[in-house]
Amino acid sequence: MNLKGKKILLGVSGSIAAYKSALLVRLLVKAEAEVRVVMTHSATEFITPLTLSTLSKNPVLTAFTKNETGEWNNHVELGLWADLIVIAPATAKTLSKCATGHCDDLLTAIYLSARCPVFFAPAMDVDMFKHPSTQHNIGQLISYGNIFISPEHGELASGLIGDGRLAEPENIVKVLDANFAKRPVANAKRVLITAGPTVEPIDPVRFISNRSSGKMGYAIAEAFAAAGAQVTLVSGPTHLKASNSDIRTIGVETSGQMFEAARENFQSNDLIIFAAAVADYAPRHVAEQKIKKQGDSMTLDLAKTTDIAGTLGTMKKPGQLIIGFALETENELSHAQDKLIRKNFDYIVLNSLNDPGAGFAHDTNKITVIDKDKNVQRFDLKSKEEVAQDILNIVLTKWSEA
């Protein structure tokens, strides 16, 4: 995760949802972030400082001074220490004080001293959340550059059902992690990715396809979108759905449809990644009615499909990068290098079905990346999310050198 080694200051204000801060701290620590917790006085009535200090492995601060010694908890120093501040739960009162600069406790003093990104995760009853004054305060805080993690819809402590539930800790961590995933070099870059299988119909109920799950292509799309790139994902039929709402997804079925979608978007993108498993052949004629079983055998007349990567590779503009994939079973390296040259790729990602845990349907992959200068990088077996990060890092390094 991108939270490793990051300094996170968690502000906890007085809401029944404060109990969720324990899990939030635990998840942040598990992600190897350094966590310090600041609580308002009312928050201590819902969860004890001892609980959060034990989980964070740091003293929890609740006031400007330590009562026993009179030692000052330096709010300016704390505000500058943090790489990110998240206030969760953020009550209507805390939102109001931060929006107006009403600084009467340690948490609001730290907020006013911060130079890092500040995230607010509201928690309150539905009518309080929708009240014009609360919405005004949220608008003010957003105008200051703060980031909001929207509350979730569900049953509230009052018994009402609506918006106002504190976002689940797992979802808060995802938002914070994505903040650190952004890379300046990826901003304003446009990325086109193909993913999944294609389906070539034989008749209204039968088709030719392959075992591709689309997991690798989707993982790559998520990695580049999290880094700040504008991602268009052309996907064949799959049960997957992009979790990042910024990813523009174009659903297709046949290789012809995938070619048309990729061709229409090719010229406007800086990077094209051909991760889809496209059928090489398709039935020359598609029966309008279901083909009835007759005789002991059946012959299908297959026609070669358009070579999407090869065709679009001839259209590459200066400055564009193209990455292809090669799934091989024999003479893997030589076949991949030949494909890289023939299709005008800048990089090719080689998978071998001879490697356990690699290839279709697995949650893991083992890749070798070859560039057009014949440099070879071999990677260990990893999750497909980690493989996507490796591919992302190769591209970011290339863009940084440009």
> Is 290 assigned a ligand-binding role in the annotation?
yes
- Spell out the residues 6+ positions from residue 235 whose beta carbon is closer than 8 angstroms to its own: 194, 195, 196, 214, 217, 218, 249, 250, 251, 252, 276
Determine the angle formed by the axes of helices 215-226 and 384-401, rounding to 10 degrees: 50
Cis peptide before 356 (omega within 30 of 0): no
339 assigned to a ligand binding site: yes
Write the DSSP string, 188-252: T-EEEEEESB--EESSSS-EE-----SHHHHHHHHHHHHTT-EEEEEE-S-S---S-TT-EEEE-
Quickly count helices (H) and strands (E) in the chain.
13, 21
Residue 274 is labelled as binding a ligand? no
Sequence-distant (6+) residues with CB within 8 A of 336 are: 326, 328, 348, 350, 368, 370
Looking at 58, 73, 74, 210, which residue is catalytic?
210
Is 280 labelled as part of a ligand binding site?
A: yes
Indicate the residue type of 354.
N
Q: Write down how long the chain is.
A: 402
Residue 193's DSSP bridge partners are 233, 273
d(CA 204, CA 256): 17
Which positions ≥6 away from 240 have C-beta within 8 Å?
196, 213, 214, 215, 218
Q: 125: burial class by Cβ within 10 Å (0-12, 13-18, 19+)?
A: buried
DSSP code for 295:
S
Residue 343 is assigned to a ligand binding site: yes
Nearest to 145 by CA among 177, 174, 179: 179
The angle formed by the CA atoms of residues 202, 208 and 209, to the nearest 5 degrees, is 150
Q: Is 210 a catalytic residue?
A: yes
Q: Supply the DSSP string of 315-368, one letter for each residue.
A: TPPTT-EEEEEEEESSSHHHHHHHHHHHTT-SEEEEEETTSTT-STT-SEE--E
Half-sphere exposure (Cβ direction) of 394: Cα atoms closer than 13 Å: 26
With beta carbons less than 8 A apart as the criterion, state whether 232 and 269 touch.
yes
Count of other CB atoms within 10 angstroms of residue 176: 29
Binding residue ranges for CTP: 280, 290, 325, 339, 343
Annotated binding site: 280, 290, 325, 339, 343
Which residues are known catalytic residues? 210
